[in-house]
Structure 1
Amino acid sequence: MVELRFSKKQINKAGEILRIDGKDFNLDELIWAYDVLNNLREMYVHPLNAFQTTLRRKMKVADTSAIASQRLKRIPSILGKLRRSPGMQLARMQDLGGLRAVVGSIDAVRKLEQSYINNPLNRFKHLLKSQKDYINEPKKSGYRGIHLVYQYQGATNPNHNGLLLEIQIRTKVQHAWATAVETMGTFIGQSIKSSEADEIWNEYFSIVGSAFAYMEGCNPVPDFAHLTREETFKKVSQMTEKLQVIEKLMAFRVVIGDINRNSGSYHLLVLDTATQTVQIKSFGLRRIGEATNEYLDWEKKAENNPYMQVVLVSTESVGNLKAAYPSYFLDAEEFIKLIQHIQAESL
């Protein structure tokens, strides 16, 4: 079993070193900080597995076709969050371990959400710390979904108690939007996800989020709430043509072999956008230590390579990898279909 080798004070010190990218610290201290971070991420493996077992059980009631996945947060994402939020302590970061459920409808989202928070017979012993409804109140970026943050309780390993894990619940439409944001962001080399891209791209995905909300009978994105459904669809069509969105997304697809030849519980995905290929290496449950160490090694290789992205994930079956993480296969097919529907309706 993985043991936490560092104190909360040491973890937060490592966060400060990483926040400023080792400036004012020597190389040994920077290497130490990465070791601390990797050890902290490893602590989330067992709680994530326990949460995913519960999530899959609940999904069978809410939507039998739903897809569950889990992941350890990527180092670039962790560093970005530390740098955007100077007051954030690494030991308190709430989504180092995350789970996601992708379901077929808004009704299924609500059913799954309620199974966590409003069931009087709920035996889920963990403490709900935060509940965000980005469906009723979409983010300015256009992002929509439900986020539940739980504090892990009652573990046999005391170091697991108090860890914060995030559960995201999305519809397939919301997942398609998020996938396209990550895929386009990868290729323009800007963070659309964090609204740090050129304004035209931030605006495009924001109004698309509003259009998708109309398609699902939900509240539009606040900045575009003054537009009717028809006006929103028309603007999306115009911007799609102007930015050549469909042409770009269709050109981004990667070449992959037979995914099903891989077997294991954890999958290391290495995306190379320069060659438009993705490598997949799978690990069994007992090889999680090896998997997290190799994950860190690949992340170090990717640090100065703008064409490489790496993630360590787990899904119920290897065949679900592409459906759960389409952005790592640069697959925006569902998004393109939705945009083409909008274009057809706005003619």
Structure 2
Amino acid sequence: MDVSRRKATAAGKALRDCSPESQEYQNALAVMLQWREQHIVPTQESFRRLLKISKEFPGSVATYRLKRQPSILSKLKRHGNAFELGAIDDIGGCRLIVDDIRQLEDACQRMHDLFPNAKQPKNYIERPEASGYRSYHDVVQIQAGEGKNPLLYRVEIQIRTKLQHYWATTVEATGEIYSLDLKTPKPEESLSETEKRMRDFLRIASAAFAIEEGTSIPAGFEGVDRDTIAETIRSTPGFMTLLDDLEASSDTVFPVPWSEKVHAEGAGLYLLEFSRAEQILNMSVFSAGALDTAIRAYQNAENASKANESTLFDNVVLVYAQNPDQLKLAYPNYSSNVQEFVMRVKDFIQ
């Protein structure tokens, strides 16, 4: 029997409040996993519809994933927030990465056509987050489930430009380089001096990219022009060191034979399984018309991970890419996007 939204929320509270050794916690964990499982079908349906949009924009990339158990637990236990498990919008998630703002606006309009039950979108491009994060988020509602009254499940769809995506992945890369959590919102007083500097650097870069795209600038930079932001980047102590550190961070985990295979296949679906600890990537390639087969392969990879917690791969994503050169946009590692970020910042300050 399906877990109800109310039961999921009660389980989330138990996961926050109870000891992991208690039976109540273990029961709540089982409910959480079932609730996550129930998001598979609605997320798959969302991805099917998103592919129709992606195919209208050459060079765009669409991705599909389910939020993994540790990430759900981390969100439930995040300090200063009271997320309800039954109300978390991004257990199922899809993303579309397009070339520029014009394509993003057109894709958003198509979203409204294909997802009539979407909630009020969160437009972090018109209103960037304090961190500098910019993207367009729509929470769509897809009906699925057993019985006479199937549930409406929420699936988060993000639409980003490449420039916004380079910034977002660089936040994660910077966090790894300096062993910091730069994604989670935190009170200013809890931040170390290093973390404050890195967050400031990233906000400045976000302002530069917003100017580049002609969109709303993050709070704190209102009225600031391009030349002022460029001079701020050049003169801020440590900013150029960050760029050097980012430029030096690279990996060779994308093997040449696989890269050649991608170019041979062309547009299609790619299942990427990545081990961050081992820096190993496993890739399976499917034709563009083999969506059902690709989704089954994704689910098999997910099931293998659940059956064996020590499984090698800790990041699984299904990607649709029309242009194989764009596959690295969604590749679950940072090197390619970070190099683009560095190049774009350096071009900005020339």
- Same fold (TM > 0.5): yes
**Matching of residue 73 in structure 1 with residue 63 in structure 2:** no
User: Counterpart amino acid of 1:162?
Assistant: L
* C-alpha contact (below 8 Å) 2:271/2:298 kept by paired residues: yes
Cα distance, 1:125–1:322 mapped onto 2, change above 3 Å: closer
**Aligned equivalents of 1:16, 1:127: Cα separation in 2:** 28
**Aligned equivalents of 2:115, 2:222: Cα separation in 1:** 39
Taking structure 1 as the reference length, the TM-score comes to 0.81
User: Counterpart amino acid of 2:274?
Assistant: L
2:102 paired residue number: 107
Cα distance, 1:131–1:30 mapped onto 2, change above 3 Å: same
Alpha-carbon offset, residue 284 of structure 1: 4.6
Cα distance, 1:326–1:250 mapped onto 2, change above 3 Å: farther
1:233 paired residue number: 230
1:175 paired residue number: 165
- 1:339 pairs with one of 338, 341, 345: 345
What are the Cα deviations for residues 287-322 of structure 1, in whole angstroms up to 9, with x where unaligned? 555322333467x559xxxxx993221112595652
When the two chains are superposed, the root-mean-square deviation of aligned CA atoms in Å is: 3.1
Partner of 1:127, secondary structure, is coil
1:246 paired residue number: 243
Taking structure 2 as the reference length, the TM-score comes to 0.80
**Aligned equivalents of 2:62, 2:85: Cα separation in 1:** 26
2:86 paired residue number: 91
**Aligned equivalents of 1:227, 1:295: Cα separation in 2:** 48
**Aligned equivalents of 1:238, 1:70: Cα separation in 2:** 40
Partner of 1:70, secondary structure, is strand
* C-alpha contact (below 8 Å) 2:315/2:332 kept by paired residues: no
Cα distance, 1:17–1:247 mapped onto 2, change above 3 Å: farther
- Which ranges of structure 1 fall in alignment gaps of 5 or more residues? 303-307
**Matching of residue 311 in structure 1 with residue 305 in structure 2:** no
Cα distance, 1:278–1:253 mapped onto 2, change above 3 Å: farther
1:305 paired residue number: none
* C-alpha contact (below 8 Å) 1:69/1:315 kept by paired residues: yes
What are the Cα deviations for residues 244-293 of structure 1, in whole angstroms up to 9, with x where unaligned? 11222233323313446799764332212xx6x13336595335553223
**Aligned equivalents of 1:184, 1:309: Cα separation in 2:** 22
1:38 paired residue number: 33
Cα distance, 1:9–1:139 mapped onto 2, change above 3 Å: closer
Map residues 1-347 of structure 1 onto 2, 5 A cutoff: 4=2, 6-20=3-17, 22-23=18-19, 26-61=21-56, 63-84=57-78, 86-117=81-112, 122=113, 124=114, 126-153=116-143, 155=144, 157=146, 161-196=151-186, 198-239=195-236, 241-242=238-239, 244-256=241-253, 257=255, 258-259=257-258, 266-272=271-277, 277-280=279-282, 284-296=294-306, 300-301=309-310, 310-316=314-320, 321-325=327-331, 327=333, 331-344=337-350
User: Counterpart amino acid of 1:267?
Assistant: L
User: Counterpart amino acid of 1:187?
Assistant: I
What are the Cα deviations for residues 105-142 of structure 1, in whole angstroms up to 9, with x where unaligned? 1111111111223xxxx3x3541212111111111111
Q: What percent of counterpart residues are identical?
A: 27
**Aligned equivalents of 2:150, 2:249: Cα separation in 1:** 40
Partner of 1:316, secondary structure, is strand
Partner of 1:129, secondary structure, is coil
What are the Cα deviations for residues 143-196 of structure 1, in whole angstroms up to 9, with x where unaligned? 11111111113x475686311011111111001000100111123222212244
2:290 paired residue number: none
What are the Cα deviations for residues 56-86 of structure 1, in whole angstroms up to 9, with x where unaligned? 212333x221111111123343233222364
Alpha-carbon offset, residue 336 of structure 1: 1.1
* C-alpha contact (below 8 Å) 1:98/1:165 kept by paired residues: yes
> Mean Cα displacement is larger for which, 165-174 or 218-227?
218-227
**Aligned equivalents of 1:289, 1:56: Cα separation in 2:** 18
Alpha-carbon offset, residue 241 of structure 1: 4.7
Alpha-carbon offset, residue 53 of structure 1: 2.0
What are the Cα deviations for residues 214-260 of structure 1, in whole angstroms up to 9, with x where unaligned? 01111211111142221111112334754611222233323313446
* C-alpha contact (below 8 Å) 2:305/2:313 kept by paired residues: no
